[in-house]
Each structure stands twice: as C-alpha cells, then as structure tokens.
Structure 1
Amino acid sequence: MPIIPPIAGHGSVPVHPDLDPGHPLVVFGDHRFCAGQTLDVDVMDGPHMHSQIELNFVLDGEMTYWFDGREMTVAAGCLCLFWGMVPHQVIARRTRTRFVCLYVPMSVLLGFPSLSRLRTAVFRGAMVEALVIRSYDRDIFMRWREELLSDDREAVEIVRSELTARVLRIERDGWRDLRAQGSAMASLDRRDAKWIPHIERMLRFIGEHAAEDISVADVARAANLHPNYAMQVFRRALGMTINQSIVRHRLDTAQSLLISTDLSVAEIAFESGFRSISRFYEAFHQRFASQPNAFRRDMRPKSASEAPARR
C-alpha cells in the first residue's frame, strides 16, 4: 500500500464512517452503502481515496474541492457525485458549511445500461453536478443519511432502491462535468448484464493492486474471465482498456503522494506501481500536462493553506 499520512482524527474531516484515525488515507476495504458521520464540512489534511461513488448534497454554505488537479466549488443546494478513487480533498469552505455525504457501491452505476453516459464520465474522473434539484432533495438526503447510519438492514435496502432511482433521474434530467471536459461514451447492453459483477471485481482488483506488478491476465483472473474477453467487456463498459485503468490508478496514487508526502519523485514512482522512472514521467506528463516536481510545487501550497479544525 502507498505510504500516506494518517488522518488527524474523527470529526476534523468528512471521512469514511468506518475509518480509524490511524488508518491510511487510501481506503479500499469497504464497498457498502454508508453515510458520513458528520454534517459539518472542514478543510482536510490532504487528499484521500476510497472505492465507492461519493454523493455530496450541500445543505448550507459553500465548499471547494481539490479534485484531480483542479479546484471546483459547490454551493448550497448542489448535488454532485464522483468516484472516490480519484484523489480529492476539501481545501476551503465557508464557515458553518454542511453537507450530506453518501458512499455508494460501484455496482449502482454498473447495473443499468441507461447510465452508460454518466458511468463512463464518472469512471473517467468527472465530478458530475445534477442540473435539476428537486424540492424534496434536501429532506430525502437527510433521511437517507439517518437510515444508513441506523444500520437497519431493511432501511438500507430501501435507501438502495431510492438512491438508485435518484441517480437514474440525474442521467434523465441532465448533468454537467464540473471539469468542463468531455468523455468518450461506452455502454453495456442488457445482454451483457450478467457480466456486471465481473466488471466490478476487475475494478476492485485494480484499485487494490494497481501499485503492484499486475497484468491484464491478473485482472481477468480476479473476475474468472479469459483475458481477451475481460479486455473486451471492460472496454465496452468503461471506455478504456484495462491497462489504461491500471495506469490511471497509479497516477492517481502518485499525485496524492506528491501532495501529501515528502517522498522523492523516484520513490513515489515505485510506490505507485511504476517500474520505470522514464515511463512514470511520460505517463504523468500525458495525464497532467506537467512534470511531477512542478505539479508538487504548484499544488502543495493549496493543500496546506488552511489547517483543519480540531475537536
């Protein structure tokens, strides 16, 4: 696992509800529906990652994310969602900003052919903002949070159905990528629905092992698929190859380490899973249009500009 500093403590940042204060910032182990313990938004120590789709409904105030090398601000009444495997960090917020933070398994986006456009954008690193907000959204997001925190299994299943329907409405009503960057389209048709669990297993395997020396064959084996078929289904579903997804995860880890640690660029390259420094520099420049040291110099002050609140 990458070497990333621990979180300072519960309540200081909007963390995963099961995250221990001594646990690394990179979180892979939980794939459930769950909710953030606190409504209060505070500036975070550094970027973190987790395996679920994250939904934020801002109740009051305004918050600014550092997200995949960009700053994006969401205000009261906004609903946005993104994949937690893209390193993200709250770097600023107005006083008394509050939000509902829900964590949703990847299978929600994988399970519906009609979500192909939204799914592809999210898995390619979009921060999606819903264009239509319903009058009841504030109350229903609060209720979903309460029911998920209650750990009532029946209530959680109801939330699963209702929240899935809300995501379907985001696709139907319209959304925009806050990065102002388009995405290629891909889709699974209904005949391929049986392969969705395999795709989710491949995504999880990549997320958990990208820093290791893994291959397409390893990813396919994790899903009990032949490598050629795994590559075909993966690309059709997500609009990228398995190798591209592995490299993306490695680069996501690298940018998080550049900001949150003092490791050298060479150490970060190897910690992230690259076996060649030259390949790391090439891939990093292709993704971020910057060299690692320049990226660290440009982004580091943003992550340290405001210390998180202590409780």
Structure 2
Amino acid sequence: MPGPHMHSQIEFNFVLDGRMTYWFDGRELTVSAGRLVLFWGMIPHQVIELDEPTHFVCLYVPMSVFLGLPSLSSFREAVFRGAMIEALDIKSYDHDIFRRWRDELLSRDTALEQIVRDELTARVRRLDREGWRDLRQVGEAMNVAHHGDGERIVHVERMARFISENALEAITVEHVARSVNLHTNYAMTIYKRAVGLTINQSIVRQRLDTAQSLLIATDMPIANVAFESGFGSLSRFYEAFAQRFGSQPGAFRRRLAQASRQIDTGRSNFSRK
C-alpha cells in the first residue's frame, strides 16, 4: 500500500503462509501464518512489510452485519476502540474456507455472497465465544474503561450503525445526532474523538464504498452509481471519488476491467500448459 488508508467495513485477514506487518494507528503489528485478525477499517492502517513469499486472504464485511450481533458487546467495544482482534482458536478448516470465501465472493454470485456473509457472521460469533486478544495490548496491561467512556462508545456505535444503514439516503450530521438523542456539537465531538473522522466524512466514506462496489460488480452508468450511492450531486461524487481513490470513476472501472482481462488471459494460458 502506498500509504495508510481507511474504509467503513470490518476487515478480516487470514494469513495463509509467510508473515505480514501492519502499521496500525501508530503501531507496528505482525501477523504470522495461520493467524486470523480483524479490525474496523476506520482505523488508519497499512501493510508495510511482507515476508517472501506471503499469501493472505482479505475480506471486507459491511458494518451493518457486525452491528447486527447484539450479544458481542465487549467484542464490539474493543473493535470500536481501535483493537486489532486476533482469534485464539484457529480451526483446521480455516485455511481452506477463507480461500473458498474469497473465490465465491469474486464469482459475483449474489446468492453465494449471502451465504458467505452468513458463514462469516457465524465465524465471528465463534471467535467471540472461543477467545480473542487485542494485538495492541500483547504484553501490556488491559485498559479498563470508565463508565463514562463506555457510555460514549455506545453512542458512537449507534451513530456508526445509523450511518451504515442510512448513508444512501439524504442524511445530515443533525440526523445522526438526533438518532442517539444528543446535541449536534457533542455528537460530533465524541464521534471524531473515537473514530478519527467527522460524522460527515464517515457518511461520504460509506457512500464511496457503495459506489466502488457498484462500479466493480455492475455495468450501471456512472451517473446512476452516484445517485444510487447517496450523492445528490454528480460533481460532488466525482470530486469525492477522485480524492478517495486517486482517479475518476470511469478510469477506475476501466482499470479494473483491464486487470480482469489480464487475469482471465493468464488463466487461459495456464490451462493450456
């Protein structure tokens, strides 16, 4: 990666072999072969080093799926506090199933996508039940949250959920604050402190993540992508997309199509060998 980045989904990484090191919100954290980690993409992160050879599966899960797990309150709180969660119990089948999930998601089969989502949700539940640790705190004392901190985290969590579920509508910062019965200024303050982004930046990021998915998975005209993603202005969409992804939407789609053709050509050549 050229530099630290952020996104609105929960990111899963399973290291198939080798070893990878992240820059994660100011820390360097290393994950070795056979380990599974997950974290909230809103925490600035970057892969800064890979042993050769290293292979890993990276999956992105919408925040709405993660927030639909009410029983995982302590787990969710750790993620919202910027934890990099490592599973303590790795299954013998994890290596194969993560590769299968990746291949099924790349197939763009919507029925398979829903199955993978359900299976990933179950894997998260198992992870919470069977044990996890925060890699940032390995060898350090665990931080105990004060009651006030926990209450603020609940508000931030609910605001993040509201954004995740409503960003494609014409929502504003005021709508987000009202969803948790907080004054707008206070809501903006605690959200920015916890997440590192403003509420409005998070809304735009959620819309851009949706737009990116539509550009990848559909042939929808770009103007339709913009409006389906919640942007009320085409010019604002172009500006925000270029700022986030470093290219205009049309160029982004063409680059992906070219890369896909090269992969298909490579597969064809391989199959003839």
CA displacement, residues 167-190 of structure 1 (integer Å, 9 cap, x when unaligned): 001100010000005363859xxx
Distance apart, 1:243 and its partner CA = 2.2
Equivalent in the alignment of 1:225: 179
The alignment of Structure 1 onto Structure 2 pairs a total of residues equal to: 184
Match of 1:100 in 2: 57
Distance 2:182 2:22 in 1: 38
Residue in 2 aligned with 1:247? Answer: 193
Aligned residues with identical type, % of pairs: 57
- The answer for the alignment partner of 2:162 in structure 1 is 201
* Alpha-carbon distance in structure 2 between the residues aligned to 1:245 and 1:202: 12
- Aligned residue in 2 for 1:73: 30
**How far apart in 1 are the matches of 2:134 and 2:72?**
15
8 Å CA contact 1:58–1:76 kept in 2: the answer is: yes
- What pairs up with 1:135-146 in 2 under 5 angstroms? 135-146=92-103
Calculate the TM-score normalised by the size of structure 1.
0.53
Change (3 A) 1:170 1:182: farther
* Distance in 1 between residues matched to 2:62 and 2:120, nearest whole Å: 11
Aligned equivalents of 1:48, 1:58: Cα separation in 2: 20
On the 8 A contact 1:64/1:71 being kept in 2, the answer is yes
Deviation (angstroms), 1:247: 3.0
In structure 1, how many angstroms separate the alpha carbons of the residues matched to 2:25 and 2:5? 11
1:161 to 87, 93, 118: 118
Aligned CA RMSD, in angstroms, stands at: 3.3
**Cα offsets for 1:110-165 (capped at 9, x unmatched):** 11221111111111100000000000001110111011111101000101110000
Structure 2 residues not aligned, in runs of 5+: 199-273
1:222 Cα deviation from its structure 2 partner = 4.0
Out of 106, 112, 116, the position equivalent to 2:73 is 116
Q: Return the offset for 1:248.
A: 3.9
> Structure 1 regions of 5+ residues with no counterpart?
1-43, 207-216, 232-239, 253-311
Structure with more helix by fraction: 2
The two structures have a TM-score, normalised by structure 2, of 0.59
Give the alignment of 1:44-55 within 5 angstroms. 44-55=1-12
Shift of 1:198: 6.4
- Corresponding residue for 1:274? none
Output the CA distance in 2 between the equivalents of 1:226 and 1:85: 20
Larger RCO (CA under 8 A, 6+ residues apart): 1
**Which among 40, 48, 58 is matched to residue 91 of structure 1?**
48
